[in-house]
Structure 1
Amino acid sequence: MEFRSDARIDQSNVRYGGGGGRRGGRGMAVGGGLGGIIILVLMLLFGGGGIGDILGGGGAAQPQQQQPQENPNCQTGADIERDPECRWPAYVTAINDYWSQALEGYQPATTQLFSGQVGTACGTGSSEMGPFYCPGDNTVYIDTEFMGVLLNQLGAAGGYAAEAYIVAHEYGHHISNLTGQMREARAGGNDTGPESNAVRLELQADCYAGVWFKNAMNDPDGLIETVTQDDLNRIVDAARAVGDDHIQQQQGGRVVPESWTHGSSQMRQYWVAKGFQSGDPNVCDTFSTDDLGG
């Protein structure tokens, strides 16, 4: 995946280092492309409660000291070759550019890049959770270094396209939050299983990520200039790697569909492809269909 050298990068919605979000706020973090993976494993091993219980949702966050991260000087796509860290605000810029046009009244989320642990409005977040979205402060949290580690551990090829898909997935949760679908999905409680609202919410975010990618690569003025077949393969591979069934198998256990919170690899690949092939966010209504791609 290559970036257009003269396209602008907007860093105004990206925070670097330290903790973001309010302490002791309300809300529950939403697992995304990688978010919730370690939580899922903990729930399977220890039979714990909901994600909010493990995160300490609603309780006062007590973040450990973070390692400071420098704020890179990123102006255009050309800066990514000079400093690869500029790719993170580039992803965010491209995502916000699309949704600001596609969704009336769109309000950008904040992206917090951190290391170790971070205080959020949903409780304490940590690197091991992977990227996640907190609706309590409308923030996407990413430990950029550890995300690559998780992709590798899950057997994904990785790369810029895979990273962009994961960030776009987290912003997909932000869209669901803005439209009110996240609130409606949670009204029935923290259900699990292949047809649960929890899985439908994750698949919707996958679909939104596919929609964004299709439109971003077709934007003549956008940051993403070229996308190869290899890039597309990496996106599909990342969706496979974060499927509940794949994670359960990799952890040495049996596949337990009743415990799924994100959907199987097949389901996740299906909805990424559905969004990408159409380029239309209206196809992402995962709550009114019986066909979830399983």
Structure 2
Amino acid sequence: MRYNPKARLDRSQVDNRRGSSSGGGGGGFPMGGGGGGLKVGGGIGGLVVLVIIFLVQSQLGGGGGSTGSTDPGATGSTSLDQCRTGTDANQDPDCALVADVNSIQAFWAEALPQQGGPRYTDATTTIFSGGLGTGCGNATADVGPFYCPTDKHVYLDTTFFKDMLEGQLGAKGGPFSQAYVLAHEYGHHVQDLLGTMAKVRTQQGRNSDAVRLELQADCYAGIWTKYATTADDSGGEPYILDLTQDDINRALDAAAAVGDDRIQRKTSGRVDPDSWTHGSAESRMRWFSTGLSKGTLEACDTFSARTL
């Protein structure tokens, strides 16, 4: 994976709140079972909206641990002022995160209306450490990356990549596995814009609406991956120059690592499909691959699929 040295990064799409912790505990964030989820009251259509998160760290017995050099923020500045071009993205993990967000949003700004959806509006990614108040309650480091439809932000404690994704979950990691995580969360933003979250009625189970929402976000991440090298900055320069098969394999590996069955087997030694909220490792890989191969919103209609 190489970022284009000529690409200009838009730092305004990422809000760096690390070191400004304002939250503690899990107030406002009732935790779900299975693969993890957040329930936020008073959502779309007056229903309780299931705001799907990528992983609930507390399921795995808590967080902690040291941060490795491949973790965004581990070696970078506490500011993002250093992130100006693709050259910076190739050298600094914080800037790589900015480039990924820029690329994902540039793609959907063009693709969403082209494929029959509404006009795309940007969602800010907020990176934090420790704890932070959000439109969906107080987020802490115990919660993995998630999208909040109330304030239209993606939230990410950057220690997740090294401590959880690569650490407790055993994923291979790497820059594109991190890009997949972001693309998945922005898939939820696209669902929010399309009104898909209103379809969520059942919140647990192999074929539940919650699982269908999650797998669709994986599929949307695959769509972006298919066209990632065509997403341009305001000057027409692509953010990403190339992706290798190894990049794709690492994204698939990350998708498998956060499958409900894989997490349950690691934590309890048994698999309970009735409690799933995100889908199996096989399903997550398959729907990511569907988006990658087909490249359309229509192909990602998990709510109509008989087999997940």
TM class, shorter-chain normalised? Answer: 0.7 to 0.9
Instruction: Report matched runs for 1:182-197 at 5 Å.
Output: 182-185=197-200, 188=201, 190-197=202-209
Alignment check: 8 A CA contact 1:20 1:112 kept: no
Cα offsets for 1:90-138 (capped at 9, x unmatched): 1110001000001131101110010011111111111221111111111
Q: Is the 8 A contact 1:80 1:87 kept in 2?
A: yes
Please point out which of 198, 202, 208 is paired with 2:210. 198
- Kindly indicate whether the alpha-carbon contact (under 8 Å) linking 2:11 and 2:98 is maintained by their aligned counterparts in 1: yes
Identity %: 46
Give CA-to-partner distance per residue, 1:213-240, whole Å, 9 cap, x none. 1111345832111111111110110011
Alignment-derived partner of residue 196 in structure 2: 181
Q: CA deviation at 1:82?
A: 3.9
Per the TM alignment, residue 20 of structure 1 is displaced from its structure 2 partner at its CA by 9.1
Q: Which residue of 2 aligns with 1:59?
A: none
d(CA) in 2 for partners of 1:20, 1:91: 26
Q: Distance in 1 between matches of 2:171 and 2:8?
A: 30
Structure 1, gaps ≥5 residues long: 43-67
Aligned to 1:12: 12
Structure 1 segment 66-81 matched on structure 2, within 5 A: 69-81=78-90
1:19–1:184: structure 2 CA closer, same or farther, 3 Å change rule?
farther
How far residue 209 of structure 1 moved from its aligned partner, in angstroms, is: 0.2
Structure 1 runs (4+) deviating above 6 angstroms are none
Aligned length: 261
| Contiguous gaps of at least 5 residues in structure 2 | 29-39, 44-48, 62-76, 114-118
> Which residue does the alignment assign to 1:246?
262
Q: Letter of the aligned partner of 1:226 in structure 2?
A: D
CA distance in 2, matches of 1:94, 1:266: 27
- Mapping of residues 92-107 of structure 1, within 5 Å: 92-104=101-113, 105-107=119-121
Counterparts in 2 of 1:219 and 1:110: CA distance versus 1, 3 Å: closer
For the aligned residues, what is the CA RMSD?
2.3
Q: Is 1:141 the equivalent of 2:119?
A: no
Instruction: Find the aligned partners of 2:58 and 2:99 in 1 and give their Cα distance.
Output: 28
2: CA distance between counterparts of 1:29 and 1:87?
A: 30
| TM-score normalised by the chain length of structure 1 | 0.83
Q: Does 1:37 align with 2:56?
A: yes
Of 175, 197, 212 in structure 2, the residue corresponding to residue 160 of structure 1 is 175
